[in-house]
Amino acid sequence: MATTTGPLRCRWLINAAGLESDRIDGMLGGGGFTITPRRGELIVFDKLARPLPRSILLPVPTARTKGVLVAPTVYGNVLLGPTAEDVADRTDTATTAAGLAALLAAGGQILPDLAAEEVTAAYAGLRAATEHRDYQIGVDEQRRYVCVAGIRSTGLSASLGIAEYVVGQLGEAGLPLRERETAGPPAMPYIGQAGVRPYQDAARIAADPDYGAIVCHCERVTRGEIRDALASPLPPNDLDGLRRRTRVLNGPRWTPRCRRRRRWSSRPAISCTPPRPPTWPPWAAGMPLGTSPPPWAACCRPPPWSG
Ligand SMILES: Cc1cc2nc3c(=O)[nH]c(=O)nc-3n(C[C@H](O)[C@H](O)[C@H](O)COP(=O)(O)OP(=O)(O)OC[C@H]3O[C@@H](n4cnc5c(N)ncnc54)[C@H](O)[C@@H]3O)c2cc1C
């Protein structure tokens, strides 16, 4: 197989290329399906909105989509979305005024109080939809080719089941299967809101003061976590990767200090100057390391520098 990094030899080829999977399949003589990106826009509400939904609020699904839902996130926000719109461009992850307006209207019907809440972020993603209802999974024993494509919505939840199914199919097709001898994939650090975060862990801070140095005040991310992410087996390549691993800069407030610290993302390892004593939020100044902040309502709105 010719790749951008040179020729690659393999015993089996698995096509799991998402939005590009039909093109790869076409190169291999397939052509039984075409990916039509189905854009989904989503709105993330501030953590102050979190008490509103007590569970995921989901309308009755249609044949085309499960519909717009209101869901609490593991990070303590509230998510509204997604929309479902077929687009031609496989890179078009822009949000639109119409999409966001439709979301707010749908959200208002599900949970009217949501309309008064502050929005932290809006984003869009593309589902790898095809003209078929089901996933496009097939094993070609003769050519030793596996197609795992058209994994549209539900793909994340179904991923472990899909993997088990494909492994089973490969076994039936004659691939000798054995338990891996090396350790499994590296464990990612816990970054949800429900457990104890490093800034709340006095023992951890005592052992390593970097876990007490909060550098992203909205999301309570510490210098120790950023350092660890950059030194991890799967280090982030860019700011988005760092955000996914640590939550850094995922909050609503982009202060001048946040912008200055963006430069970390391009560094191979942390060599920044220690953060200056924070002036906001108030709980962060002059309090013993490891002290939990007061509830969000007490410290998050409005920051004094926002005018
Ligand atoms: C708006 C939205 C809502 C969703 N809602 C849900 C939900 O509620 N529940 C749920 O379970 N799932 C949901 N999903 C679906 C889920 O995120 C996707 O189904 C899943 O990520 C698809 O997995 P995949 O591995 O097929 O594709 P991807 O995750 O897209 O992976 C494909 C990979 O192939 C790489 N690639 C592409 N072309 C090439 C090439 N030529 N060479 C090398 N690499 C290549 C890409 O870079 C990418 O890393 C949603 C998705 C969206 C966008």
Residues 282 and 291: their CA atoms lie apart, in Å, by 12
Angle at 124 between CA 99 and CA 236, to 5 degrees: 165
Rounded to two decimals, the pTM is 0.81
Residues 257 and 272: their CA atoms lie apart, in Å, by 13
Residues 1 and 103: their CA atoms lie apart, in Å, by 44
pLDDT digits (tens, 9 = 90+) for 75-96: 999 999 999 999 999 999 999 9
Indicate the domain borders of the chain: 8-34+132-172, 36-129, 190-272
Coil, helix or strand at residue 179: coil
Q: How far is the CA of 219 from the centre of ligand 1 (A)?
A: 26
Q: Over the range 151-160, which residues count as b (16 or more CB within 10 Å of their CB) and which as e?
A: bbbeeeeeee
pLDDT digits (tens, 9 = 90+) for 13-47: 999 999 999 999 999 988 899 999 999 999 999 99
The residue whose CB lies within 8 Å of the most ligand 1 atoms, and thus the one to mutate among 93, 156, 234, is: 156
Residues 38 and 223: their CA atoms lie apart, in Å, by 38
Q: Is the pLDDT of residue 266 over 50?
A: no
Q: Which residue has the tokens 């307006």?
A: 101
CATH number of the domain at 36-129, out of 3.40.50.920, 3.40.50.970, 1.10.3720.10, 3.30.9.10?
3.30.9.10
In this structure, the strands spanning 136-140 and 119-129 are unpaired
| Residue identifier of the C-alpha nearest atom 40 of ligand 1 | 17
Q: What's the rounded mean pLDDT across residues 128-152?
A: 95
pLDDT digits (tens, 9 = 90+) for 188-245: 888 999 999 999 999 999 999 999 999 998 999 999 999 999 999 889 999 989 999 9
| Residue identifier of the C-alpha nearest atom 5 of ligand 1 | 153
Q: How far is the CA of 16 from the centre of ligand 1 (A)?
A: 9
146 vs 261: which has the higher pLDDT? 146
CA 116 to chain centre: 25
Element (H, E) at 138: strand 136-140
Coil, helix or strand at residue 41: strand
- In the structure, what pLDDT confidence band is assigned to residue 277 with cuts at 50, 70 and 90? very low
Residue 102: the pLDDT is 95
The residue whose CB lies within 8 Å of the most ligand 1 atoms, and thus the one to mutate among 91, 148, 151, is: 151
> If you ran DSSP here, which 8-state letter would residue 8 be given?
-
270 vs 259: which has the higher pLDDT? 259
